[in-house]
Structure 1
Amino acid sequence: MSVEIKKVTDKETLRKFVQFGIDLYEGNEYFVPPLIYDEMATLNREKNPAFDHCDAAYFLAYRDGVIVGRIAVMINYKSNEIWNERNARFGFVDFIDDEEVVDTLFGVAEEWARSRGMEKIHGPLGFTDLDHEGMLIEGFDQMGTMETIYNYPYYKDHMERMGYVKDQDWFEYLIPIPEEIPERYARMADVVKKRFGLMVKHLGSKKDVLPYARDIFLLINKAYKDLYGFVPLTDRQIDYYVDMYIPMLRLEFLTLVIRQEDHKLVGVGIGLPSLAQALRKAKGRFLPTGWYHLYKALKGKDNKVLDLLLVAVDPEYQGKGLNALLFSEFIPAARQLGMEVAESNPELEENNRVRSLWSDLNAKHHKTRRAYSKQL
Structure 2
Amino acid sequence: MALEIKEVNSKKELKDFIKFPFGLYKGNPYYVTPLIDFEMSTLRKDKNPAFYHAEAKYWVATQNGKIVGRIAAIVLEPELNKKKLARFGWIDFIDDKAVSELLLETAQEWAQSKGATGIHGPMGFTDLDFEGALVEGFEELATQATIYNYPYYVDHFKAWGMEPAATWVELRGKAPLKNPEKVSRAVKLISERFKVNVKEFKNTKEILKYAPGVFEVLNEAYSDLYGYIPLTQKQIDYYVEQYFGFIRKEFVCIIVNEHDEVVGFALTLPSLSRAFQKAKGSLYPFGFIHVLKSFYFNDLADLFLIGVKPEYQKLGIHALIFDYLQKIYEKKGIKYMASGPMLADNKNVLNTWSQFDLDIGKIKRSCFIKQF
Shorter-chain TM-score: which interval?
Answer: over 0.9
Long gaps (5+) in structure 1: none
Q: Quote how far apart the aligned CAs of 1:325 are.
A: 1.3
- 2:94 equivalent in structure 1: 96
- 2:267 equivalent in structure 1: 270
Does 2:17 correspond to 1:17? yes
Does 2:135 correspond to 1:140? no
Residues 112-123 of structure 1 aligned to structure 2 (within 5 Å): 112-123=110-121
Give the secondary-structure state (helix, strand or coil) at the position aligned to 1:136: strand
- 1:7 equivalent in structure 2: 7
Give the secondary-structure state (helix, strand or coil) at the position aligned to 1:55: strand
My pick for the range that moved more, 54-63 or 282-291, is 282-291
Give the secondary-structure state (helix, strand or coil) at the position aligned to 1:185: helix
Give the secondary-structure state (helix, strand or coil) at the position aligned to 1:130: coil
Give the secondary-structure state (helix, strand or coil) at the position aligned to 1:263: coil
Give the secondary-structure state (helix, strand or coil) at the position aligned to 1:247: coil
Separation (CA, whole Å) in 2 of partners of 1:13 and 1:30: 26
- 1:321 equivalent in structure 2: 316
- 1:360 equivalent in structure 2: 355
1:178 to 167, 176, 179: 176
Does 2:284 correspond to 1:287? yes
Query: In the TM superposition, what whole-angstrom CA distance separates every residue of 1:221-253 from its partner, at most 9, and x where no partner exists?
Result: 111111111111111111111111112111111
Q: Quote how far apart the aligned CAs of 1:182 are.
A: 2.1
- 1:109 equivalent in structure 2: 107
Residues 234-253 of structure 1 aligned to structure 2 (within 5 Å): 234-253=232-251
- 1:334 equivalent in structure 2: 329
TM-score (norm 2): 0.98
Amino acid at match of 2:270: P
Query: In the TM superposition, what whole-angstrom CA distance separates every residue of 1:299-353 from its partner, at most 9, and x where no partner exists?
Result: x1x3111100111101101132111210110011111111111111100111112
Separation (CA, whole Å) in 2 of partners of 1:46 and 1:64: 32
Separation (CA, whole Å) in 2 of partners of 1:3 and 1:217: 43
Give the secondary-structure state (helix, strand or coil) at the position aligned to 1:173: strand
Do the aligned partners of 1:68 and 1:95 also contact (CA within 8 Å) in 2?
Answer: yes
TM-score (norm 1): 0.97
Do the aligned partners of 1:79 and 1:230 also contact (CA within 8 Å) in 2?
Answer: no
Do the aligned partners of 1:311 and 1:323 also contact (CA within 8 Å) in 2?
Answer: no
Give the secondary-structure state (helix, strand or coil) at the position aligned to 2:125: coil
Separation (CA, whole Å) in 1 of partners of 2:45 and 2:130: 18
Separation (CA, whole Å) in 1 of partners of 2:5 and 2:236: 35
Separation (CA, whole Å) in 2 of partners of 1:279 and 1:316: 38
Identity of aligned residues (%): 42
Amino acid at match of 1:16: D
Separation (CA, whole Å) in 2 of partners of 1:279 and 1:265: 31
Amino acid at match of 1:182: P
Residues 207-226 of structure 1 aligned to structure 2 (within 5 Å): 207-226=205-224
Separation (CA, whole Å) in 2 of partners of 1:138 and 1:10: 36
Separation (CA, whole Å) in 1 of partners of 2:70 and 2:170: 26
Do the aligned partners of 2:79 and 2:86 also contact (CA within 8 Å) in 1?
Answer: no
Do the aligned partners of 1:69 and 1:102 also contact (CA within 8 Å) in 2?
Answer: yes
Q: Quote how far apart the aligned CAs of 1:204 are.
A: 1.1
Give the secondary-structure state (helix, strand or coil) at the position aligned to 1:248: coil
Does 2:367 correspond to 1:371? yes
Do the aligned partners of 1:32 and 1:146 also contact (CA within 8 Å) in 2?
Answer: yes
Separation (CA, whole Å) in 2 of partners of 1:73 and 1:151: 18
- State the Cα RMSD in Å: 1.1
Do the aligned partners of 1:89 and 1:124 also contact (CA within 8 Å) in 2?
Answer: yes
Give the secondary-structure state (helix, strand or coil) at the position aligned to 1:367: strand
Separation (CA, whole Å) in 2 of partners of 1:79 and 1:52: 14
Long gaps (5+) in structure 2: none
Separation (CA, whole Å) in 1 of partners of 2:351 and 2:141: 24
Separation (CA, whole Å) in 2 of partners of 1:197 and 1:159: 49
Do the aligned partners of 2:298 and 2:334 also contact (CA within 8 Å) in 1?
Answer: yes
Separation (CA, whole Å) in 1 of partners of 2:264 and 2:350: 17
Do the aligned partners of 1:59 and 1:105 also contact (CA within 8 Å) in 2?
Answer: yes
Structure 1 residue runs of 4 or more that deviate by more than 3 Å after TM superposition: none
Do the aligned partners of 1:175 and 1:358 also contact (CA within 8 Å) in 2?
Answer: no
- 1:124 equivalent in structure 2: 122
Separation (CA, whole Å) in 2 of partners of 1:359 and 1:219: 24
Amino acid at match of 1:79: E
Separation (CA, whole Å) in 1 of partners of 2:66 and 2:138: 26
Separation (CA, whole Å) in 1 of partners of 2:208 and 2:74: 32
